[in-house]
Structure 1
Amino acid sequence: MGSALSLNTVTVKEKWGLAECIEGCARHAIEGISPWRDVLHAMGVAAAARQIRDAGLTVTGLCRGGMFPAPDAAGRAAAIEDNLRAIEEAHTLNAACLVMVCGGLPPGSKDLPGARAMMRDGLEAILPTARAAGVTLALEPLHPMTCADRSVLSTTAQALDLCDALGEGVGVALDCYHIWWDPEVAAQIARAGRRIAAFHACDWLVPTTDLVLDRGMPGDGVIDIVGLRAMVEAAGYQGFTEVELLSRRWWAEEPDHVLATMKASHRC
């Protein structure tokens, strides 16, 4: 598949905390790591930054910021405050980007345009801080099946329209699981160019038993991950391939076996 490999910590979240993930990456010669904020907070940001640095790992992203839509002004303000903390954490880790999962409809709402306006308002509110910290906000479009509860940002084209509108400091995180189906994917990857801040790899299984928690190891499903990687490289992205598996099956495996399987699939 090419490129260096990165472990997204959610891949082994049931059995390893962040310290074990860092040690595991070093043991398996995996050069990158992308922590989720829950395990980062459990370890402590300063301690995590120190151990990651000592292990010689690159932080390919911090997961996650976003989740801006809320039913009231207090909820929206709280989301903005949390995102400002996430920017500070990403800066401390020297993360390549802060991955933005922008949020779904507020509870009880059917106002999709309104939720998208809240998303843009939230991004505009935190962008000056992100720019000052040198942290790229990587907008991650999620599969439309998540529009109601996780992300009203559904396509790469939507994400790039926001990048165009917001300007410097905003890019995209492209996850194979979420973009592979899009008939415009090739054209939009080419359009993204050097605004691609992260590339996430996992596979779509057939049959899929859970639309969120049954992702496949790269190579086990129907996505042409090698082809998508070639597209992002042609667009100018030379960064890591980050494996991010939300999978009950793989969470049940021993993490050392998961990392060894990741490396084997990455060489294919």
Structure 2
Amino acid sequence: MTTDVAAEGTGVVQDAHDAQAAPTGTTPADLSRLSLNTATTKRWTLREAVDGAVRAGLSSIGPWRDRVQEVGAAEAARIIEGAGLRVSSLCRGGFLTTDDDAAAQAALDDNRRAIVEAATLGTRELVMVVGGLPAASAPGGPALPYPAHVPLPGAATARAGSAHSGQPGAPTAARAAGGSSRSGGDARTDDPVDDPARDLVAARQRVADRIGELAPFAAGHGVRLVLEPLHPIFTADRAVISTLGQALDIAEPFPAEVVGVVVDTYHVWWDPDLQRQIARAGAGGRIAGYQVCDWILPLASDPLLSRGHVGDGYVDFATITRWVRDAGYTGDVEVEIFNEDVWSAPGDETLATMADRYVRHVLPHL
């Protein structure tokens, strides 16, 4: 289960109140559940992020794998533990939707490495961003063209010279070369075209199947696979799971200590069924993390970078936090922000803002 930090007191480390000093005669803010996700201070190394978290009075940190891999998992664990911090989660595993056998095996192998990294760091929570459609050329990239010709069941056999390989779901030579029946490929323009790389239902099923393949390995290492639904704007290229309900549907065939979910306000704040699904997750003991940041407008040219500090946008943190609290979650609250302006600000300034907004908008409702 998720580490219970609500009963640990303030849990602050030496010099913890330097950045959050309280006026004389008042009680310092309780930051014992506030965690820095290293994506928020993207330009800091792991050691810099750890030192900054200590200066800000935090008790935990949620590293991304890129920062861990810069020094190695064992050294990362020593740096974090040596500073008196715990690891709230590791980001990220996932990207399990490919329809290519070799790529699928590579993804599974990488996720097993991520599971070992999480265990080495001493966290049981590995956040999983499951991946978008195989038709995505890359996260944030344009869609690959339709194959030159993939006949629907019952359609006429493709003419000689069709580039279709005959393997459903396999990338075709025509697609790799940019061929498309819409743009003058060698299939007739009036032939029906069905592209498995755009099959959203099949992609979601592959996620479920591959979570099933990874679950025993994760359980053997004491690590939980934490499914993260992403806002529907990212369905095409980053996550075919868009709602907490969809994530729970995939998680529920597995023990709660092996597969759970994370509630990320940026991604799920809009969901009209959110209260019920948070309660469902809590009843099953599956809430493995709570991540907070705000939905701000206008969106950046890359929507991924449109996260803002808590309180700068449209998210109702009071209501969602109460739902998470009432569902029984007592673990860490990570702040994860992708935003060029935030990344350009001094890291200590970002942490001070992060702590202030947490105290004002989240802590009173935990």
CA distance in 1, matches of 2:347, 2:267: 24
CA distance in 1, matches of 2:261, 2:108: 19
CA distance in 1, matches of 2:299, 2:331: 29
* 1:207 positional shift: 2.5
- After TM superposition, the score normalised by the length of structure 1 is 0.96
Name the structure 1 match of 2:261.
172
Name the structure 2 match of 1:16.
44
Name the structure 2 match of 1:87.
115
1:256 aligns with 2:348: yes
1:196 aligns with 2:287: yes
- Please, which of 208, 214, 227 is the counterpart of residue 306 of structure 2? 214
Instruction: Specify which structure has the higher proportion of helix.
Output: 1
Name the structure 2 match of 1:6.
35
What SS class does the counterpart of residue 226 from structure 2 fall into? strand
Query: Is there any run of 5+ residues in structure 2 with no aligned partner, and where?
Result: 1-29, 136-143, 145-196, 361-366
1:145 aligns with 2:236: no
CA distance in 1, matches of 2:217, 2:99: 24
Query: Cα deviation per residue 1:198-217 (whole Å; 9 max; x = unaligned)?
Result: 00000011322342102110
Q: Report if the CA contact (8 A) 2:262-2:290 is conserved.
A: yes
CA distance in 1, matches of 2:113, 2:35: 24
- Please, which of 57, 60, 65 is the counterpart of residue 32 of structure 1? 60
CA distance in 1, matches of 2:263, 2:124: 14
What SS class does the counterpart of residue 198 from structure 2 fall into? coil
Q: Report if the CA contact (8 A) 2:130-2:241 is conserved.
A: yes
Query: Cα deviation per residue 1:235-264 (whole Å; 9 max; x = unaligned)?
Result: 010111100000111011011100111011
Letter in 1 for 2:111: N
Letter in 2 for 1:104: G
Query: Cα deviation per residue 1:66-114 (whole Å; 9 max; x = unaligned)?
Result: 1011131000000000000000000011114000000011134211112
Which aligned pairs between 1:25-174 and structure 2 lie closer than 5 A? 25-107=53-135, 108=144, 109-168=197-256, 169-174=258-263
CA distance in 2, matches of 1:85, 1:62: 12
CA distance in 1, matches of 2:32, 2:311: 16
Letter in 1 for 2:53: C
Q: Report if the CA contact (8 A) 2:95-2:130 is conserved.
A: yes
Structure with the larger RCO, 1 or 2 (CA within 8 Å, 6+ apart): 1
1:183 aligns with 2:272: yes
CA distance in 2, matches of 1:192, 1:2: 25
1:227 aligns with 2:315: no
Larger Cα Rg: Structure 1 or Structure 2? 2
What SS class does the counterpart of residue 294 from structure 2 fall into? coil
Letter in 2 for 1:83: N
Name the structure 1 match of 2:184.
none
Q: Report if the CA contact (8 A) 2:94-2:107 is conserved.
A: yes
Which has the higher mean CA deviation after the structures are superposed, 77-86 or 156-165? 156-165
Query: Cα deviation per residue 1:132-188 (whole Å; 9 max; x = unaligned)?
Result: 111111100001111110000110001111111233411101100000000000010
What SS class does the counterpart of residue 98 from structure 2 fall into? coil
RMSD: 1.3
Aligned residue pair count: 267
User: Between the two proteins, what is the percent identity of the paired residues?
Assistant: 47
